[in-house]
Amino acid sequence: MKTLAIIGGGSWGTALSIVLSPKFPAVRLWVYEKDLARRMDRLRENDTFLPGFQLPTNVEIHTEIGAAVEGADAVLGVMPSHHARRLYAEMRPHLRPSMAIVSASKGLEEGTLMRISEVIRQVLGQEYKRRIAVLSGPTFAREVARGEPAAVVIASADRELARQIQEAFSGPTLRLYTNDDVIGVELGAALKNVIAIGAGVCHGLGLGNNTMAALITRGLAEITRLAVAMGAKQRTLSGLAGLGDLVLTCTGELSRNRTVGLKLARGHRLEEILASTPMVAEGVRTTYAAIELAQKAGVEMPITEQMHAMLANGQSPREAIRLLMERSLKRE
């Protein structure tokens, strides 16, 4: 693989362009905001989403999505999940089935409740079915951009495609593990953001380590229940894309979703929180989709239910904690 197209110039897309630049002669980074793209091209820095990091010389900035993906060997989608369908439809005329299509978006599509790889397959058609992979794991963009060691998972139904991407993307500071459980990797990536909002709530209420440990453990239990009901393998949720990403997002101060919960617990309105940053907190939209998915699958997700009551119905954080603690007693 010689040319990599990265679709999405947020913090994670920019960080990936930096860490993957030594592996590809040419990296094309598509940026939605034209004024930001002009500054990035001139200053060689993403001053909005990832300030303080220099873009390598082989990273080209694009605002035309067709030009960004045309002739690329691999296309890496790092857009927010609610923009995925539209952007893959725009890319479709410029793609060819020999390309590797890698999704690093962490969320579920509202309405359809589809995983992003399902959205891609529906938009691009069956000829791309064996060319789709998903990338996920415990990563904060700033730490990856700084060159701190990180490990992620690349999952695909085609094991050879996963192996090829593993070889193409792995380097001194980014290690990829292969997996064939696309469902488990994607659901782990999406649902951990919901639990991370709860972790922020706990921190904002001044609750300690006991509470956080219980939240992460029981959060993993309900994520696993839903993922297995949807066809995932249980062991996937014990790995990097499940437990690893959950722990990071629930405990790390760089977590956007944890920050949403923290501010909710401190009395801020959800609308104010979301409007205060250009960053996207995927967990808010994913909470709504997860509730629908759990109801359809007949799976109990009490933490997710309380997060939904807070986000959609304005329930107080302390009431959410009380209702969780007063549920009927059960076996683990």
Catalytic sites, residue numbers: 192
Read off the pLDDT of residues 82-107 as tens digits, 9 standing for 90 and up. Answer: 999 999 999 999 999 999 999 999 99
Q: What is the DSSP letter of 173?
A: S
Which residues, in sequence order, are bridge partners of residue 115? 108
- Name which of 42, 68, 179, 71 is nearest 117 in CA terms: 179
Pair 264, 201: CB distance under 8 Å: yes
> Residue 54: what are its φ and ψ, rounded to 5°?
-80, 135
Quote the CA–CA distance of 280 and 79 in Å, as a whole number: 10
Three-class DSSP category at 153? strand
Q: Give the global pTM.
A: 0.94
Quote the CA–CA distance of 167 and 169 in Å, as a whole number: 6
Please give the share of the chain, as a percent, with pLDDT higher than 90: 89
Enumerate domains of the chain plus CATH numbers.
Answer: 3-180 (3.40.50.720), 183-325 (1.10.1040.10)
Tokens coding 140: 């904060």
Read off the pLDDT of residues 160-217 as tens digits, 9 standing for 90 and up. Answer: 999 999 999 999 999 999 999 999 999 999 999 999 999 999 999 999 999 999 999 9
> Residue 171: what are its φ and ψ, rounded to 5°?
-155, -165
pLDDT in the model for residue 280: 67
